[in-house]
Amino acid sequence: MLRMPMPDDAVLARRAAIVAGLREILPGEGVIDDELERRAYESDGLTAYRTLPMVVVLPETTADVVAILRYCNAAGVKVVPRGAGTSLSGGALPLEDGVLLGLGKFKRILEVDVANRCAVVQPGVTNLGITHAVQDAGFYYAPDPSSQIACTIGGNVAENSGGVHCLKYGLTTNNVIGIEMVTMAGEVVRLGGKHFDSGDYDLLGVMVGSEGLLGVVTEVTVRILPKPPGARALLIGFPTIEGAGECVAAVIGAGIIPGGMEMMDRLAAEAAEAFVHAGYPLDAEALLIVELDGCGAEVDHLIEAVETIAGRHGATTCRISRSEEERLLFWAGRKAAFPAVGRLSPDYYCMDGTIPRKRLGDVLARMKQMEALHGLRVANVFHAGDGNLHPLILYDANNPGELERAEEFGNDILRLCVEVGGVLTGEHGVGVEKRDLMDTMFDKVDLDQQQRLKCAFDPGNLLNPGKVFPQLCRCAELGRVHVHAGQTRFPDLPRF
């Protein structure tokens, strides 16, 4: 089971004084002390883990955030930032001795600047809320994680969120051009803006995806894109997973980068079909949805090209959407795949590794063997274009030991992803979930280098500690310079 840093008894003993101190900064309802109300924040999208936060604060302005962080920094109190709490990796899991800093009140769209193709928003605005604010002008915000109705742009910045369109349009990091942030010491720093790139170190680039460990984001400037004039999709069935994988490689080999390219295995497709009746072929071992977007001339041209490629790679069925309704129906099953799989089993555990696509066949075959070993089933949903796998492990938390088996299975899958040349997480983040697997990808020197970055931003290690790294960082020790080569520089250190 997951271990978090030991709560600091000295901080817990000062709880009443800390709550009173925070109330001086945020009078009224901005400080939540009541246990029942605090329960609402005990977990995020990784619901297997729950911790009651010591206190919850809900600031409304950057000045509030500055005052809270200054107070906590001076008092040596840990802080866990939180957006909408949809993280699937436990990024917003509270700490028993920590302040939970919710940014839900930062809900305003500050500016839509069409001439510079950007929008300035507060971090609590939802991902889809940005698109809603700019769509009348003919624009949209490209990254579209499946939680986009609920997840906030602040959380997207923390996690570098992706979505089904990121092969063509990029992740959050490619679509955020500026932020205002507050450091743990309470300093306000602006990174980027409405311009391209950085004139100095690209600290914005490293803030995106830093999982709330480096600073609290209080304003975000995003690039907005003109909405494509149209889109059509193909729904293609294959008798083998390998055939579908080869088709994906051939599409890319032909120079086509589709707006979206998603694969589902038989179990996932069956579950989705039973749930939304999208007309998915039920005899296929692999189902591929390929969406082409752009002007009509381009879409028609590429649909034909993909259809030909699919035929050449043994597709047994190929439907092409003839209307917007039909295109959305193709997607309805994919978008509902998680809840649909949820109907097959009381619980499921969603994984997020990325692999080189050419290894897809091996990886799925090895996963089949693991199913037998762990006594649990897996349904696979796959961002086929970029190699990002979402195996859904089916389990029942009411059966003693089954959650632990599901987690062990998940860890084996992620180790396999790394073994074949991939990575632990494509878009959900490390959080607490994959924290203890970081050393399958990185050695101690790599992790120390990452920790030294943390020290530059938060030397007291008070901001979201216990996430991402398997051991807490010790900045004083990491800062020392060893100049004698040949010595053992890194004796093994215990984990917390």
Partner 1 sequence: MAVLRPADTTQLEEAVTAALAKDETLEILGGGSKRALGRPPRTDHVLDLGAFDGIVDYEPAELVLTARAATPMARLVAQLDARGQMLAFEPPDWRDLLGTGGEPTLGGTVACNLAGPRRVRAGAARDHFLGFSAVNGRGEEWKAGGRVVKNVTGYDMGKLQAGAYGTLSVLTELSVRVLPRPETTCSLVMQGLGDEAAVATLASALNSPHEVSAAAHLPAGAAARSKVAALSGGAATVLRLEGPRPSVDYRAAALQSLLGAGERLNDRNSSALWNEIGAVRALVGEGERVIWRLCPPPSTAPALLRRVEARLASAEGFYDWGGGLLWLALDERDAGPDGGATVVRAALGEAGHATLICAPEAVRAVGPVFQPAQPALAALARRVKAGFDPKAILNPGRMQQGM
For partner 1, the closer CB: 375 or 421? 421
Least separation in angstroms between CB 337 and partner 1? 18
Overall size of the chain counted in residues: 496
Least separation in angstroms between CB 250 and partner 1? 8
Least separation in angstroms between CB 228 and partner 1? 6
Least separation in angstroms between CB 243 and partner 1? 15
CA angle 490, 495, 496 (to 5 degrees): 145
- HEC profile of 467-493: CCCCCCCCHHHHHCCCCCCCCCCCCCC
For partner 1, the closer CB: 321 or 354? 354
For partner 1, the closer CB: 97 or 211? 211
Sheet bearing 388-395, strands edge to edge: 317-320, 230-238, 286-294, 260-265, 378-383, 388-395, 347-350
Residue 469 structure tokens: 């790294």
Least separation in angstroms between CB 227 and partner 1? 6
Pick the closest to residue 173 from 435, 429, 422, 447 (CA basis): 429
Give the 3-state secondary structure of residue 341: helix
376 neighbors 406 (Cβ within 8 angstroms): yes
For partner 1, the closer CB: 34 or 492? 492
Least separation in angstroms between CB 358 and partner 1? 7
Least separation in angstroms between CB 211 and partner 1? 8
Residue whose tokens read 């990029």:
170
Least separation in angstroms between CB 473 and partner 1? 11
For partner 1, the closer CB: 30 or 410? 410
Least separation in angstroms between CB 386 and partner 1? 4
For partner 1, the closer CB: 19 or 453? 453
Q: At what angle do helices 402-419 and 360-374 cross, to 10 degrees?
A: 160
For partner 1, the closer CB: 191 or 263? 191
Residue 243 structure tokens: 């055939």
For residue 213, what are the contacts with CB-CB under 8 A and spacing of at least 6? 454, 457, 458, 463, 464, 465, 467, 468
For partner 1, the closer CB: 97 or 159? 159
For partner 1, the closer CB: 273 or 448? 448
Pick the closest to residue 43 from 434, 454, 431 (CA basis): 431
Residue whose tokens read 């997951």:
2
Per-residue DSSP letter, 5? P
DSSP 241-293: HHHHHHHHHHHHHTT---SEEEEEEHHHHHHHHHHH-----TT-SEEEEEEEE
Own/partner contacts of 24-28, CB < 8 Å, gap of 24 or more, are: 25/64, 25/67, 25/68, 25/71, 26/57, 26/58, 26/59, 26/64, 26/68
For partner 1, the closer CB: 127 or 354? 354
For residue 72, what are the contacts with CB-CB under 8 A and spacing of at least 6? 78, 79, 99, 184, 462
